[in-house]
Amino acid sequence: MIETVFRCDDIPQADRFDYWREQMTNLVAPMEMSSDHTGDFQGQARVLELGAAHVWPTKFHPMRFRRTPKLIRQSDPELYHFSFLVQGNLQVSQARQETAFVRDGLYVVDTSRPYDCVAYGESPAGVGLEIPKAMIPLPYDRIDPLLARPIPGHEGIGALLGGFLTRLASDDGAYRLSDGPRLGNVLVDLASSLLAHAIEAESALPPETNRHTLTLRVKNFIQRNLHDPQLTPAAIAAAHHISVGYLHRLFRDEDTTVSRWVRQQRLDRTRRDLADPGLSAAPVHELASRRGFSHPAVFSRAFRAAYGIPPSDYRQLALKSGVPDAPP
């Protein structure tokens, strides 16, 4: 994954807004930008290149962005720009639609159409996602009614996309360069499924995209329910209204099994808990139970088989030497 960081703190104060304007133009597309804070402007952004998809967490002083017909004729990267708001407020208008957004709001705009965005409130911040329009397997005219309209970011596929974006934004250095295109493909599938769901056009998506999205939903469900010792393949399949056989096929495509993936998630979460100084007073069996291991002996055998060391010994080493937490 290729990452680029720019921040106004590194620029002389008098030049900061001009620098920000130049960087945002290069990052997104040519835009008119204005702010009441040009004299003391603050802004920072990271650009994560994930194949054709770009993710950019950003935070800045209140300002206004306008993409005009003249600027579109000057340059058009032909992108769908998704934005997940994590702080502050936005007023966005495009295609005769004008909507106000608050925290956890999710919307999409088209760089080929004029739009106007006003960010206000205390230190607006969010995570942007840009995907070439040609990679979204839906007709443009079906997506147009969704431009600048609120898309639920706290439930369903919107929550999956928003959660994935914020996780990418917070995981500094957790990914290899070769992970970028794979993560980009996941984002394209999620964004496509989100749009298709919003226009009730799931049938227009390729079967592979629907399958990938369903797999992500299943994995998200598993991770939220690891504490339940009854988290069986039958229970997981029933929660998603699919057969157990189809569930097994989803994970066979991932080169694993449902039970193995559940067990590994539980082991990884428990290993992270064992390395957490804030949980050092909790007995090992209690931490294992919180992650769905009903029998301490079964957990100990599984942990040792996975990591080559008993859980109690791992905890001692981790707390003594500061072994990094295992990723969830």
> Does residue 244 fall inside a structural domain?
yes
Say if residue 172's pLDDT is above 60: yes
| Radius of gyration in angstroms for the set of CA atoms belonging to the chain, rounded to a whole number | 23
Residue 101 lies in a domain: yes
pTM above 0.85, yes or no: no
Q: How many domains does the chain have?
A: 2
With respect to residue 308, please indicate whether it lies within any of the assigned structural domains. yes
Residues 66 and 160 both lie in one domain: yes
Instruction: Tell which of 205, 223, 257 closes a domain.
Output: 205
Q: Are residues 122 and 83 part of one domain? A: yes
Taking Cα atoms as reference points, which of 90, 145, 151 lies closest to residue 117? 90
Q: What is the mean pLDDT of residues 283-312?
A: 93
Residues 97 and 188 in one domain: yes
The CATH number of the domain holding residue 241 is 1.10.10.60
pLDDT tens for 158-171 read: 999 998 999 888 87
- % of the chain surpassing 70 pLDDT: 95
Q: Identify whether 131 is part of a domain.
A: yes
58 and 173, same domain (yes or no):
yes
Range of the domain at 287: 233-321
pLDDT one-digit tens code per residue, 10-69: 899 889 999 999 988 888 889 999 998 888 899 999 999 999 999 999 999 999 999 999
Same domain as 37, residue 125: yes
Tell me how crowded residue 209 is: count the other CB atoms within 10 A of its CB.
21
* 3 state SS of 308: coil
Instruction: State pLDDT tens for residues 217-238.
Output: 888 889 888 999 899 999 999 9
The neighbouring-strand residues paired with 82 are 108, 129
